[in-house]
């Protein structure tokens, strides 16, 4: 591979370097263009919002996974931790309602409680990894099993139903509705619409996605601007150097795993809101997606690199693929083949591009 | 130089590992601004002595004085607080971070964003890093370069600048030139001289006798855990030092065979 960069001028090398860094963005654009041409109704505001909503789960899991992967670890438990807290959040709502609380109170208590409990798996993972020196792969793989088993026990192997309609109203609602001729309304469409009007109604900014991206951007800020974020990178770059520099490595690692399980729990709550049910398998297939999103977003599984913007773009690559295939009428399991291929491709590019463009050697 | 008080003084240090005596009543001192070469064959006890001074090991017997006061150095953090910085061969840099982030690693300068959220103050860290590098005459193209894009000598300089920025008074360097090319070795040795002129005391461990002779004022030789000699550099020569390191009998034996 060395030969390649030797024949290139400085400028050519610079371009190759940029390409190596931004290939995934071009890939995303390519995907969107292809699906726009061969799909029907792919290129529309409605469908783009579908993509965003469909990407919410991956986005949240990938956001947490970004922190873990930058430290050089991996969290395999996110998919089933998400399922566990999907079940728990639904269960809390149903139980509180049975006790006579109003839907609003039940929902608020459920969300707050779930997010708080959602820190526990991460605390356990973090203590195992940081204090007891269990490899992240093993610690979180154990949690993967524990979370799945617990969630099935909690719901007796049957999805939890009987949630109030308020849940779906929020989970499938939009921030803004626009009806030509009648203007904007917030949170709910205008009442008493005719059939033609329903079709013309334009819904903007899905609630679930808006909330998710808000939380993700807050954590993007934490990762890129704060001292804690800097230490996350330092731990991934050289854990011994971080220790010797006086960085509280163990405490920071525990926090990182707690962030990951917080995002998994949040993702579980979002699932409950959208599908108005609590399922143990809500996120079972999403662990792969989240890791892929982070890795194609530029993070190295060896730790030390990666960023939130990359993970968001990586998420969209999978989201566009998924939605595009549904749009074409292809069964969704086709997706896994492509996602698997993209993952391996991304790792190969990660391995060879730095070789080709390494500067100053 | 000898009229002044030593910055570091270790007295009769004994360190045992099980039945093995790694250091047997070793004493040495380092004066302000002095460069001391610590020499010895493998297993002579150089690293053990260094690790005791930098707080990694604890001595079984003996005393350590720093700045005239007796000190107990129980941990690396303790040593850092006193101003004793050790630069190991692996340099302890985060290769994925840039130069100024490494200089401020673990002690990042923060500012308030929007008046309440503490965030990294990149400008400040960049400027301060420039200052310390200029002071030491170190040239690195851009302080926003990641460490992994720097040469071995540049990395060495970053590690040294970091200790100096954080007020190192005694710098311990373990094989600083081992992994470097000739031109880079020279730069590092020049840097050692600059530091010494600025009053920083340095203990340098190296197998390259030639390097040590170029910069050290005084040489301390260990063999099998004991101090077997101490010479002013200008009053000795490499032959004498080597015979101290390996034992005079061995040298004579070798000469006899020739």
- A208 CA to chain B: closest CA distance, Å? 27
- Residue found under tokens 């989201």: A319
Q: Do B149 and A226 make contact, defined as CB atoms within 8 angstroms?
A: no
Residue A22 token pair: 């931004």
Mean pLDDT, chain A, as a whole number? 89
* Cβ neighbours around B157 below 10 Å, total: 23
CA distances from A2 to A7, A13, A14, A192, B145 (A): 9, 12, 15, 69, 22
Is the distance from CB of B53 to CB of B79 less than 8 angstroms?
A: yes
Provide the pLDDT for residue B183: 86
Provide the pLDDT for residue A2: 43
Q: How far apart are CA A11 and CA A77, in angstroms?
A: 44
Which residue has better confidence, A328 or A92?
Answer: A92
Nearest C-alpha neighbor of A55 from the set A260, A306, A311, A259:
A311
Contact of A226 with chain B, judged by CB distance below 8 Å, is answered with: yes
Residue A206 token pair: 């899905």
First to last CA, chain B: 42
Provide the pLDDT for residue B252: 65
Q: How many CB pairs under 8 A join A and B?
A: 65
Rg (CA), chain B: 20
Provide the pLDDT for residue A7: 54
- List CB contacts of B217: < 8 A, sequence separation 6 or more: B1, B34, B35, B36, B196, B232, B233
Residue A264 token pair: 């998994």
CB-nearest partner of B94 from A225, A241, A360: A241
Across A116-125, A176-185, B68-77, B235-244, which has the greatest mean pLDDT? A116-125
Given a cut of 60, whether residue A357 has pLDDT beyond it is: no
Given a cut of 50, whether residue A361 has pLDDT beyond it is: no
Domain layout of chain B by residue ranges:
8-92+168-257
Query: Which residues of B are less than 8 Å from A355 in CB distance?
Result: none
Provide the pLDDT for residue A351: 75
Which residues does chain B have with pLDDT short of 70? 1-3, 249-258
**DSSP characters over A301-318:** TTSS---HHHHHHHHHHH
Return the residue of A nearest to B109 by Cα: A227
Given a cut of 50, whether residue A168 has pLDDT beyond it is: yes
Provide the pLDDT for residue A360: 35
Given a cut of 70, whether residue A21 has pLDDT beyond it is: no
In total, chain A counts a number of residues equal to: 361
Q: Do B101 and A230 make contact, defined as CB atoms within 8 angstroms?
A: yes
Q: What is the mean pLDDT of residues A315-327?
A: 90
Q: How far apart are CA B107 and CA B51, in angstroms?
A: 23
Own/partner pairs, A36-43, CB within 8 angstroms, 24+ separation: A38/A328, A39/A324, A39/A327, A39/A328, A40/A327, A41/A327, A42/A323, A42/A324, A42/A327
Estimate to the nearest angstrom the gap between the alpha carbon of A13 and the chain centroid.
Answer: 33
Q: What is the mean pLDDT of residues A200-222?
A: 92
Q: Hey, CA dihedral for A303, A307, A308, A311, is it positive or negative?
A: negative
Q: Strand A202-206 relative to strand A183-186: parallel, antiparallel, unpaired?
A: unpaired
Beta bridge partners of B162: none
Given a cut of 70, whether residue A314 has pLDDT beyond it is: yes
Provide the pLDDT for residue A14: 66
Largest Cα–Cα distance in chain B? 79
Q: How far apart are CA A35 and CA A40, in angstroms?
A: 8
Nearest C-alpha neighbor of A305 from the set A293, A297, A317, A315:
A297
Provide the pLDDT for residue A1: 40
Provide the pLDDT for residue A359: 40
Contact of A15 with chain B, judged by CB distance below 8 Å, is answered with: no
**Range list of β-strands (E), A94-138:** none
Given a cut of 70, whether residue A342 has pLDDT beyond it is: yes
- Residue found under tokens 């999907």: A86
Residue A353 token pair: 């591009």
Query: Which residues of A are less than 8 Å from B95 in CB distance?
Result: 237-238, 304
Provide the pLDDT for residue B258: 55
Provide the pLDDT for residue B126: 97
Select from B95, B96, B102, B111 the residue whose CB has the most chain A CBs within 10 Å, as the one to mutate to test that interface.
Answer: B96
Q: pTM value?
A: 0.87
Provide the pLDDT for residue A198: 77
Q: How far apart are CA A173 and CA A170, in angstroms?
A: 5
Q: For residue A19, name the pLDDT band (cuts at 50, 70, 90).
A: low
Return the residue of A nearest to B121 by Cα: A225
Packing angle, helices A334-357 and A308-327, rounded to 10: 140
Residue A172 token pair: 């499938």
Q: For residue A356, name the pLDDT band (cuts at 50, 70, 90).
A: very low
Q: How far apart are CA B222 and CA A261, in angstroms?
A: 54
Q: Do A234 and B120 make contact, defined as CB atoms within 8 angstroms?
A: no
Q: How far apart are CA A129 and CA A123, in angstroms?
A: 10
Given a cut of 80, whether residue A8 has pLDDT beyond it is: no
What 8-state DSSP symbol labels residue A331? Answer: -
SS3 content of chain B, % helix, strand, coil (to 5): 35, 30, 35
CATH of domain B8-92+168-257: 3.40.50.300
- List CB contacts of A18: < 8 A, sequence separation 6 or more: none
Residue A87 token pair: 């079940």
- Least confident range of A31-35, A119-123, B67-71: A31-35
Provide the pLDDT for residue B165: 92
- A57 CA to chain B: closest CA distance, Å? 29
């Amino acid at each position: 591979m060395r030969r390649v960069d030797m024949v290139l001028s400085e400028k050519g090398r610079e371009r190759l370097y940029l390409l190596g860094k931004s290939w995934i963005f071009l890939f995303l654009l390519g995907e969107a263009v292809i699906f726009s041409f061969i799909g029907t109704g792919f290129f529309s505001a409605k469908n783009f919002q579908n993509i965003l909503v469909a990407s919410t789960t991956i986005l949240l899991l990938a956001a947490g996974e970004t922190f873990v992967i930058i430290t050089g670890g991996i969290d395999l438990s996110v998919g089933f931790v998400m399922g566990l807290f999907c079940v728990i959040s639904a269960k809390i709502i149903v139980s509180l309602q049975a006790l006579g609380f109003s839907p609003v109170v039940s929902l608020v208590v459920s969300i707050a409680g779930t997010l708080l409990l959602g820190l526990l798996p991460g605390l356990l993972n973090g203590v195992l990894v940081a204090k007891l020196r269990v490899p992240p792969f093993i610690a979180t793989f154990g949690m993967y099993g524990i979370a799945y088993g617990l969630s099935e026990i909690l719901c007796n192997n049957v999805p939890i139903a009987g949630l109030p309609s308020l849940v779906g109203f929020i989970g499938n609602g939009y921030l803004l509705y626009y009806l030509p001729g009648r203007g904007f309304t917030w949170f709910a469409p205008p009442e008493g619409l005719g059939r033609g009007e329903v079709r013309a109604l334009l819904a903007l900014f899905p609630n679930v996605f808006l909330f998710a991206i808000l939380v993700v951007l807050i954590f993007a800020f934490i990762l890129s601007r704060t001292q804690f974020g800097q230490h996350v990178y330092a731990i991934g770059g050289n854990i011994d150097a971080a220790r010797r520099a006086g960085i509280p490595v163990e405490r920071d690692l525990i926090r990182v795993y707690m962030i990951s399980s917080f995002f998994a729990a949040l993702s579980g709550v979002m699932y409950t809101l959208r599908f108005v049910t609590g399922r143990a398998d809500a996120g079972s297939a999403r662990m792969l997606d989240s890791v892929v999103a982070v890795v194609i977003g530029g993070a190295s599984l060896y730790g030390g690199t990666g960023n939130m913007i990359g993970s968001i773009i990586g998420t969209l690559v999978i989201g566009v693929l998924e939605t595009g295939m549904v749009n074409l009428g292809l069964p969704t399991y086709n997706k896994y083949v492509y996602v698997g291929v993209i993952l391996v491709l991304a790792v190969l590019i990660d391995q060879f591009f730095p070789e080709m463009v390494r500067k100053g050697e | 130089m000898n009229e002044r008080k030593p910055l570091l003084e270790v007295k009769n240090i004994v360190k045992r590992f099980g039945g093995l005596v790694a250091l047997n009543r070793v004493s040495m001192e380092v004066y302000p601004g002095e460069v001391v070469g610590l020499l010895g064959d493998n297993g002579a006890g150089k690293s053990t002595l260094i690790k005791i001074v930098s707080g990694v090991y604890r001595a079984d017997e003996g005393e350590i004085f720093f700045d005239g006061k007796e000190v107990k150095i129980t941990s690396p953090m303790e040593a850092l607080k006193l101003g004793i910085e050790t630069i190991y061969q692996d340099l302890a840099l985060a290769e994925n971070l840039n130069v100024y982030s490494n200089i401020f690693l673990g002690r990042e300068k923060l500012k308030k964003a929007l008046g309440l959220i503490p965030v990294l103050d990149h400008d400040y860290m960049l400027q301060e890093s420039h200052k310390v590098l200029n002071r030491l005459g170190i040239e690195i193209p851009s302080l926003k370069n990641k460490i992994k894009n720097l040469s071995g000598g540049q990395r060495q300089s970053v590690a040294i600048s970091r200790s100096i920025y954080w007020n190192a008074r005694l710098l311990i360097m373990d094989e600083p030139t081992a992994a470097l090319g000739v031109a880079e070795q020279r730069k590092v040795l020049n840097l050692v001289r600059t530091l010494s002129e600025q009053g920083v005391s340095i203990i340098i461990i190296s197998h390259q006798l030639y390097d040590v002779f170029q910069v050290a004022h005084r040489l301390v030789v260990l063999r099998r855990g004991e101090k077997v000699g101490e010479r002013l550099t200008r009053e000795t020569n490499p032959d004498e030092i080597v015979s101290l390191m390996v034992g005079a009998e061995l040298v004579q034996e070798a000469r006899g065979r020739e």
